[in-house]
Chain A
Amino acid sequence: MSAPARTPDEMRVGAAPAVTALRRKDLLGIAELSTDEIALILDTAEAMKEVGERPIKKVPALRGKTVVNLFFEPSTRTRTSFEIAEKRLSADTLNIAVASSSVVKGETLADTALNLEAMRPDMIVLRHSSSGACHLLSGDLLHSRVLRSNIHLLTKMGSDVWVCGPPTLIPTDITRFGVRATSDVDEAVADADVIMLLRIQLERMEGAFFPSLREYFNVFGMTEARLRRAKPDVMIMHPGPMNRGVEIASEVADGPYSVILEQVANGVAVRMAVLYLLAGGVAHEEAA
């Protein structure tokens, strides 16, 4: 069962965390994490972020550990983020992209896994296709993995979540997750503390989900004019990669409300936190 949402104050570094260790050795998704575990990851990420701000951006925590990044889908940004996180923790990293691996030569996934296991890596990062504030998620909701992870995370941590997009891109079962859906962007923008734009996945747009990209931008794109109706301290987020001029206007992406590049920096810190916390595996409690 999930614990009640914690106030931002309690989540600050320095407050005694409710859990002090992750008692698991695998992490498969955000849905399985308790709010206390999420708070622990975020607290640890705060400390890890500081490592990235030093002249020597490296700590010896995972020295001698081998981490394999096994990517079945091309994703330079995610792989780079993991690789930097691993290197900052002093792990030895190995990248395997499926396009260049024996899977192409006909090896089964099981055989690939067995071969990797025989080389005794300590951790594997696997990417495979099967896999309080008021937040607004806008964009391509149907094809987005980011959407589901975010909904799990934000509702768990006590946010009021709205999703907004053309009806053809809103999953029909979305309200099951405790979020509200709308296709009226201006209404949605007005009350949001955070607006997160999601990428229109151009590669998955063979079906006619909306008339044209220009039309999409005009009706749903985050433009400066639209942003003027938002709260004065609104925050603009995007998980990347962005389609400028589709879901978000360049002026908004580069504007004063955007924290998009900070998200990238924080992404490295969160990955460092997760790698560090999972490296211990499960077992006994330890005194401070």
Chain B
Amino acid sequence: MPVVMDADRIGRTLTRIAHEIVERNRGVDDLALVGVRTRGVPLARRIARSLREITGQEVPTGALDITLYRDDLMRQSVGPQPLVRRTEIPFSIDDKKILLVDDVLYTGRTTRAALDALIDYGRPRGIQLIVLVDRGHRELPIKADYVGKNLPTSLEESVQVYLQESDGRDEVVLQPAQGGDV
């Protein structure tokens, strides 16, 4: 199983993304980070930490669960429902520039669900998408604004992101065959 990003690389990448955020938005005023559960949440927290180190300002950070917005819910006639976790966005997103954070961008369906979910919380001034890995194969017209690493993959491969907070180590792994992640 080839490791495509190790801990150092992930750390440097997130710091670079934080600098790009500050440059593109000319600071961090009116910005808020929202991580897509599960692994988008620790990534969002780390980016918030980097932004604090760079600008000295605190960027509000939340967690979004998109399960109830998935487009494959109830599609199969039978099948157990995916686990729902709590969305925690402890601030108003109205008129904020939302930085949506996910670990892997693939078909774009998770991002579509996340956009729909976010809009139910208010009317942000804009939404920008941050992903650690873009593995291609989009099925919807969705594009990331900040990409940690572009990783060309085949449909049979799968990309696994492991993070200290949830998995005890920082690593991005390209797994041959199996498939199944969305």
Instruction: Verify that A and B bind, or say they do not.
Output: yes
B80-94 with Cβ < 8 A to chain A: 80-88
Q: How far is the CA of A47 from the CA of B63 in the complex (A)?
A: 12
Q: Is the CB of A284 within 8 A of B79?
A: yes
- With A54-B121, A59-B69 given, is the CB distance from A21 to B84 under 8 Å? no
- B122 nearest CB neighbor, chain A only: A55
Q: Is the CB of A283 within 8 A of B82?
A: no
Kindly supply a per-residue 1/0 record for chain A positions 43-87, scoring 1 wherever the CB is within 8 Å of any chain B CB and 0 otherwise. Answer: 110111011001110111111110000000000000000000000
User: Is A23 among interface residues, defined by CB-CB distance under 8 A?
Assistant: yes
Specify which of A43, A51, A62, A282 is in contact with B74 (CB 8 Å cutoff). A62
User: Is A276 among interface residues, defined by CB-CB distance under 8 A?
Assistant: yes
Q: Is the CB of B80 within 8 A of A47?
A: no
B49-103 with Cβ < 8 A to chain A: 65, 67-69, 73-74, 76-88
Q: Is the CB of A281 within 8 A of B79?
A: yes
State the majority secondary structure of interface residues on A: loop
- Chain A positions within 8 Å of B67 at CB level: 61
Q: Is the CB of B69 within 8 A of A277?
A: no
Q: Is the CB of B78 within 8 A of A280?
A: yes
- Chain A positions within 8 Å of B79 at CB level: 280-281, 283-284, 286
- With A55-B122, A58-B120 given, is the CB distance from A23 to B80 under 8 Å? yes
Distance to closest chain B CB from A287 (angstroms): 5
Q: Is the CB of A61 within 8 A of B86?
A: no
User: Is A201 among interface residues, defined by CB-CB distance under 8 A?
Assistant: no
Specify which of A60, A281, A286 is in contact with B68 (CB 8 Å cutoff). A60
- Chain B positions within 8 Å of A281 at CB level: 77-80
Distance to closest chain B CB from A284 (angstroms): 6
User: Is B116 among interface residues, defined by CB-CB distance under 8 A?
Assistant: yes
Kindly supply a per-residue 1/0 record for chain A positions 18-40, scoring 1 wherever the CB is within 8 Å of any chain B CB and 0 otherwise. Answer: 00111101000000000000001
Q: Is the CB of A279 within 8 A of B84?
A: no
Q: Is the CB of A60 within 8 A of B116?
A: yes
- Chain A positions within 8 Å of B181 at CB level: 287
- Chain A positions within 8 Å of B152 at CB level: none
- Chain A positions within 8 Å of B117 at CB level: 59
Q: How far is the CA of A176 from the CA of B122 in the complex (A)?
A: 53
- With A56-B120, A60-B69, A65-B74 given, is the CB distance from A48 to B83 under 8 Å? no
Distance to closest chain B CB from A67 (angstroms): 13
Kindly supply a per-residue 1/0 record for chain A positions 264-287, scoring 1 wherever the CB is within 8 Å of any chain B CB and 0 otherwise. Answer: 000000000100110111111111
- Interface residue ranges, A against B (CB under 8 Å): 13-14, 17, 20-23, 25, 40, 43-44, 46-48, 50-51, 54-56, 58-65, 89, 273, 276-277, 279-288
- Interface residue ranges, B against A (CB under 8 Å): 38, 65, 67-69, 73-74, 76-88, 116-117, 120-122, 180-181
